Structure 1
Amino acid sequence: MDNSKPQTIIRLVEVKRRTGLSTSTIYHWMKCGLFPTQVNLGNKLVGWKEAEIDKWVSSRSDVMDIR
Protein backbone atom coordinates (compact mmCIF):
# COMPACT_ATOMS: atom_id res chain seq x y z
CA MET A 1 0.00 0.00 0.00
CA ASP A 2 1.39 3.39 -1.02
CA ASN A 3 1.10 5.93 1.80
CA SER A 4 2.82 8.74 -0.08
CA LYS A 5 1.15 12.14 -0.12
CA PRO A 6 -0.69 12.87 -3.38
CA GLN A 7 0.88 15.56 -5.52
CA THR A 8 -0.79 18.94 -5.51
CA ILE A 9 -1.23 20.62 -8.87
CA ILE A 10 -1.27 24.41 -9.04
CA ARG A 11 -2.56 26.55 -11.87
CA LEU A 12 -0.76 29.29 -13.81
CA VAL A 13 -2.06 32.16 -11.66
CA GLU A 14 -0.53 30.56 -8.56
CA VAL A 15 2.72 29.71 -10.37
CA LYS A 16 3.03 33.35 -11.43
CA ARG A 17 2.31 34.54 -7.89
CA ARG A 18 4.95 32.25 -6.37
CA THR A 19 7.65 32.94 -8.94
CA GLY A 20 7.00 36.55 -9.87
CA LEU A 21 7.37 35.58 -13.54
CA SER A 22 5.14 36.56 -16.44
CA THR A 23 3.27 34.00 -18.50
CA SER A 24 5.55 34.53 -21.50
CA THR A 25 8.70 34.09 -19.39
CA ILE A 26 7.35 30.87 -17.84
CA TYR A 27 6.61 29.34 -21.25
CA HIS A 28 9.88 30.56 -22.78
CA TRP A 29 11.92 29.15 -19.90
CA MET A 30 10.00 25.86 -20.11
CA LYS A 31 10.90 25.65 -23.81
CA CYS A 32 14.57 26.27 -22.93
CA GLY A 33 14.53 23.69 -20.13
CA LEU A 34 14.98 26.32 -17.42
CA PHE A 35 11.59 25.89 -15.72
CA PRO A 36 9.48 22.88 -14.66
CA THR A 37 7.17 21.58 -17.37
CA GLN A 38 3.42 21.71 -17.12
CA VAL A 39 1.09 18.78 -16.56
CA ASN A 40 -1.84 18.38 -18.95
CA LEU A 41 -5.08 18.13 -16.98
CA GLY A 42 -7.31 17.65 -20.00
CA ASN A 43 -9.44 19.83 -22.27
CA LYS A 44 -7.00 22.75 -22.54
CA LEU A 45 -6.27 22.75 -18.79
CA VAL A 46 -2.72 22.65 -17.50
CA GLY A 47 -1.04 22.92 -14.13
CA TRP A 48 2.31 22.44 -12.45
CA LYS A 49 3.38 20.10 -9.68
CA GLU A 50 3.55 22.21 -6.55
CA ALA A 51 6.64 20.39 -5.26
CA GLU A 52 8.53 21.10 -8.50
CA ILE A 53 7.65 24.80 -8.39
CA ASP A 54 8.63 25.03 -4.72
CA LYS A 55 11.94 23.31 -5.48
CA TRP A 56 12.59 25.65 -8.43
CA VAL A 57 11.83 28.74 -6.33
CA SER A 58 14.15 27.47 -3.60
CA SER A 59 16.95 26.85 -6.08
CA ARG A 60 16.54 30.35 -7.54
CA SER A 61 16.62 31.86 -4.06
CA ASP A 62 19.98 30.16 -3.50
CA VAL A 63 21.33 31.47 -6.82
CA MET A 64 20.10 35.01 -6.23
CA ASP A 65 21.20 35.03 -2.56
CA ILE A 66 17.86 36.41 -1.35
CA ARG A 67 17.99 37.47 2.27
Structure 2
Amino acid sequence: MNSDKLLRLRQVEEKTGFGKSWIYQQIRLHQFPTSIRIGSTHVAWLESEIDAWIQQRVRLSRNG
Protein backbone atom coordinates (compact mmCIF):
# COMPACT_ATOMS: atom_id res chain seq x y z
CA MET A 1 0.00 0.00 0.00
CA ASN A 2 1.24 3.46 -0.90
CA SER A 3 1.91 5.64 2.12
CA ASP A 4 0.32 9.07 1.71
CA LYS A 5 -0.39 12.05 3.90
CA LEU A 6 -4.01 12.98 4.61
CA LEU A 7 -4.95 16.64 4.39
CA ARG A 8 -7.90 18.17 6.19
CA LEU A 9 -10.03 20.85 4.52
CA ARG A 10 -8.08 23.78 5.99
CA GLN A 11 -4.85 22.33 4.62
CA VAL A 12 -6.41 21.81 1.19
CA GLU A 13 -7.65 25.42 1.23
CA GLU A 14 -4.16 26.66 2.12
CA LYS A 15 -2.46 24.47 -0.48
CA THR A 16 -4.80 25.42 -3.35
CA GLY A 17 -5.74 28.97 -2.40
CA PHE A 18 -9.44 28.17 -2.79
CA GLY A 19 -12.19 28.19 -0.18
CA LYS A 20 -14.53 25.50 1.05
CA SER A 21 -17.47 26.45 -1.20
CA TRP A 22 -15.35 26.45 -4.35
CA ILE A 23 -13.71 23.13 -3.46
CA TYR A 24 -17.04 21.37 -2.87
CA GLN A 25 -18.55 22.91 -6.00
CA GLN A 26 -15.64 21.58 -8.07
CA ILE A 27 -16.02 18.14 -6.49
CA ARG A 28 -19.69 18.11 -7.54
CA LEU A 29 -18.59 19.03 -11.07
CA HIS A 30 -15.99 16.22 -11.02
CA GLN A 31 -13.21 18.79 -11.46
CA PHE A 32 -11.43 18.28 -8.13
CA PRO A 33 -10.25 15.21 -6.17
CA THR A 34 -12.92 13.77 -3.92
CA SER A 35 -12.45 13.49 -0.19
CA ILE A 36 -12.26 10.22 1.70
CA ARG A 37 -14.17 9.51 4.88
CA ILE A 38 -11.83 9.10 7.85
CA GLY A 39 -14.51 9.00 10.54
CA SER A 40 -18.23 9.31 11.00
CA THR A 41 -18.13 13.09 10.44
CA HIS A 42 -14.58 13.72 9.20
CA VAL A 43 -13.12 13.74 5.71
CA ALA A 44 -9.66 14.28 4.28
CA TRP A 45 -7.91 14.35 0.93
CA LEU A 46 -4.84 12.45 -0.21
CA GLU A 47 -2.01 14.92 -0.57
CA SER A 48 -0.75 13.15 -3.70
CA GLU A 49 -4.12 13.68 -5.41
CA ILE A 50 -4.14 17.38 -4.52
CA ASP A 51 -0.55 17.73 -5.76
CA ALA A 52 -1.46 15.96 -9.02
CA TRP A 53 -4.47 18.28 -9.47
CA ILE A 54 -2.22 21.33 -8.97
CA GLN A 55 0.34 19.99 -11.47
CA GLN A 56 -2.43 19.35 -13.99
CA ARG A 57 -3.59 22.97 -13.64
CA VAL A 58 -0.02 24.18 -14.19
CA ARG A 59 0.33 22.03 -17.33
CA LEU A 60 -3.01 23.25 -18.71
CA SER A 61 -2.09 26.89 -18.14
CA ARG A 62 1.31 26.45 -19.79
CA ASN A 63 0.09 24.42 -22.78
CA GLY A 64 -3.27 25.91 -23.49
TM-score of the superposed pair, with normalisation by structure 2: 0.87
Partner in structure 2 of residue 33 of structure 1: 30
Q: Does 1:53 align with 2:50?
A: yes
Number of aligned residue pairs: 62
Which structure 2 segments of 5+ residues have no match?
A: none
Which structure 1 segments of 5+ residues have no match?
A: none
Q: Which runs of 4+ in 1 moved over 4 A?
A: none
Q: Which has the higher helix share?
A: 2
Percent sequence identity is: 32
Shift of 1:43: 2.2
Q: Does 1:62 align with 2:59?
A: yes
Alignment RMSD (CA, Å)? 1.2
TM-score of the superposed pair, with normalisation by structure 1: 0.84
